[in-house]
Amino acid sequence: MVDENIPHLLHIAQRSLHFHELHMNAHLDFACVLSSNVQLDILFSSQLQILYFTSKEVNCSRTNAQNYIKPPLFNTVFTPIIGHQSLLVAEGSEHERARRMINPAFHHVNLKSMISIITDQTAKAIQALFNASNLDQSKQKLVDLQIEFNALTLSIIISSAFGSGCETINNSKEVICQNFGKVLDAIVYRSLIMVNQIPLISKLPFWKKDVVDIGTRMIAELIDKIIADRREGRSTSLSSGADLLDLLLSAVDDDGHPFTDQQIKDQALTFVLAGSETTGTLMVWIFYILMTHDDVLQACREEVDRVLPNGIEPTNEHLNELIVCEAIINETLRLYPPAPHFTRYCIREHTIGTERQLRIPVGTTVMINSYIVHRRSDLWSRSLEFDYTRWMRDPKTGLKPKLPHPFAYLPFASGSRNCIGQNFALLEAKMMLAMFVQRCNFELVPGQKIVPDFKLAMYPKYGILVKFSSRQI
Ligand code: HEM
């Protein structure tokens, strides 16, 4: 089991740049090539030097943030699917404009109207698990958690982003889901063998280029149609309020200018890219914890059965009462952050650190490893133990406990480029957790090797096989 390895892994990771020991093989290969391969240094004509820091040293404050952009290499990985103008990859005034226009979509008030989409999709997924034809003789269903939760979170974000357009145009949801998965796999593959990063080579018709081209074209055509239908009033949000597409269509900048259709498509696809596998992976680790910590499962069940008696569906009114669920999600994000690191590229020379001062030259790629920060014993008491109670809100004031350091907890990064979808992700995770715990029994299939690996997110390398059965409520 993974936790037995952690003290050893941490020991190694804190002393070395080598993430191999953290089983982040794919990422390590990438990082090492960048830092050591002279040929590539010349190819990209920049000073490529990977530094490895904890957030305390880098200090993600506003002043420091101005000295960095996203690494240009990071951007080349995703542009085939989300374009150049998406929030994830845009820089400078273009990013600021888009961020200001999109921010309101993720405010609690607007997210409320997406709750029914989340609960509908989750209820359907649970029901599908227990279709009689799916069950073995003991009325159990064997499930790979990663596949199950990736499919569910993809379905939720597509429905929240594109509404009934996905259902009115023949098979469009299935086509988007299938092609999105294929294109992502191909992009990750092409990035790991460095094809995506070298402009000339990336245009050659090899290494799954056809998968990327055909898949992105099919997705783009469907989304163009979905946007046109919504503009013409032929489709609507799947909830009582506005969905993400409505909010993107109505957003205007300070001069009153809206997004173009191309920008709307890029932003909506960015939500699908950034908001599916990350949240899916969070759910996988939450269930891993529930199946390996009886006390945590019991506390969670007790709360869910009390707040949502007789199998009722969670609504906005229940959200604030699910405080154990919230604490379990926060603690899982601490020990198993789905995005375990983020990188920044220095564009202005400056000095960081207090005790250990370090000059950061222009062209340096700085990597901040939240996985390590979240496990530092000088920041967190019993840092390697899963203790959800450290996140419990004060019962009188409802306030969350104070962090040990402003940058000690970074599952969603920090600063002006932090995760814009974090409220959505936390809301979605809470709803899915409550409904699965309310309606299902689940147990880990014994004898599995469970180790974290890293591609787009930090996921269990060999999957996690689980037996699900329906719970009497
Ligand atoms: C548990 C789930 C999630 C985790 C752990 C997560 C984590 C992160 C992290 C660490 C970043 C910063 C990346 C970097 O700077 O390199 C980020 C950015 C971003 N995330 Fe998330 N995310 C999650 C869910 C979502 C969801 C549900 C959405 C949208 C619906 C979303 C949309 C975005 C966008 C658009 C950005 C780029 C923001 C910008 O650069 O201004 N994320 N996320």
Q: Which residues line ligand 1 (CB under 6 A)?
A: 87-88, 99, 157, 270-271, 274-275, 278-279, 282, 338-339, 342, 411-413, 417, 419-421, 424-425
Ligand 1 geometric centre to CA of 38 (Å): 32
Instruction: Report d(CA 240, CA 49) in Å as an integer.
Output: 50
Report the atom number in ligand 1 closest to the C-alpha of 411.
5
Residues contacting residue 109 through CB under 8 Å, at least 6 positions apart: none
Segment holding 86, helix H or strand E: none
Report the atom number in ligand 1 closest to the C-alpha of 428.
27
pLDDT at 44 over 90: no
Q: Which residue among 276, 419, 420, 456 is best mutated to probe the pocket of ligand 1, counting the most ligand atoms within 8 A of its Cβ?
A: 419
315 φ, ψ (degrees, to nearest 5): -125, 180
Give me 462's structure tokens.
Answer: 């060999």
Query: What ipTM describes this predicted complex?
Result: 0.99
Q: Nearest 10 degrees: CA dihedral of 37, 42, 44, 45?
A: 130
Residue 424's CB is within 10 A of a number of other CB atoms, namely 23
In this structure, which residue's CA is closest to atom 13 in ligand 1? Answer: 342
Residue count of the chain: 473
Instruction: Report d(CA 227, CA 469) in Å as an integer.
Output: 40
Q: For the chain, what percent of residues have pLDDT higher than 90?
A: 58
Bind-site residues for heme: 419
Instruction: Average the pLDDT over each of 29-43, 44-58, 99-113, 257-271 and give the range with the smallest value.
Output: 29-43
> Among candidates 276, 298, 315, which has minimal Cα distance to 430?
315
Each as own residue / partner, the long-range contacts of residues 98-104 (CB below 8 Å, 24 or more positions apart, any chain) are 98/259, 98/263, 98/267, 99/416, 99/420, 100/253, 100/254, 101/251, 101/252, 101/253, 101/259, 102/247, 102/248, 102/251, 102/267, 102/420, 103/420, 104/247, 104/251
Instruction: Report d(CA 171, CA 17) in Å as an integer.
Output: 46
Ligand 1 geometric centre to CA of 253 (Å): 22
pLDDT of residue 379: 87
Instruction: Average the pLDDT over each of 95-99, 241-245, 356-360, 452-456 and give the range with the smallest value.
Output: 356-360
228 φ, ψ (degrees, to nearest 5): -60, -45
Ligand 1 geometric centre to CA of 419 (Å): 4
Tell me if 230 sits within 8 A of 248, measured CB to CB.
no
Segment holding 448, helix H or strand E: none
Report the atom number in ligand 1 closest to the C-alpha of 418.
12
pLDDT band for position 277 (50/70/90)?
very high
Per-chain mean pLDDT for the chain: 84
Report the atom number in ligand 1 closest to the C-alpha of 153.
27
Highest mean pLDDT: which range of 109-113, 119-123, 352-356, 396-400:
119-123
Residue range 205-215: mean pLDDT, rounded: 94
> Among candidates 308, 344, 260, 336, which has minimal Cα distance to 84?
260
Ligand 1 geometric centre to CA of 425 (Å): 9
Ligand 1 geometric centre to CA of 87 (Å): 10
Ligand 1 geometric centre to CA of 271 (Å): 8
Ligand 1 geometric centre to CA of 466 (Å): 28
Residues contacting residue 88 through CB under 8 Å, at least 6 positions apart: 78, 82, 270, 273, 274
How far is C-alpha 381 from the chain's CA centre? 26
Buried/exposed 266-292: b ≥16 CB within 10 Å, e otherwise: bbbbbbbbbbbbbbbbbbbbbbbbbbe
In this structure, which residue's CA is closest to atom 9 in ligand 1? Answer: 412
- Indicate the DSSP class of residue 258: B
In this structure, which residue's CA is closest to atom 3 in ligand 1? Answer: 278
Give me 265's structure tokens.
Answer: 């498509």
Residue range 62-74: mean pLDDT, rounded: 78
- Characterize the bridge pairing of strands 458-460 and 364-369: unpaired
Instruction: Report d(CA 114, CA 247) in Å as an integer.
Output: 12
DSSP strand E in 292-363: where?
341-346, 350-352, 358-360
In this structure, which residue's CA is closest to atom 25 in ligand 1? Answer: 275
In this structure, which residue's CA is closest to atom 37 in ligand 1? Answer: 88
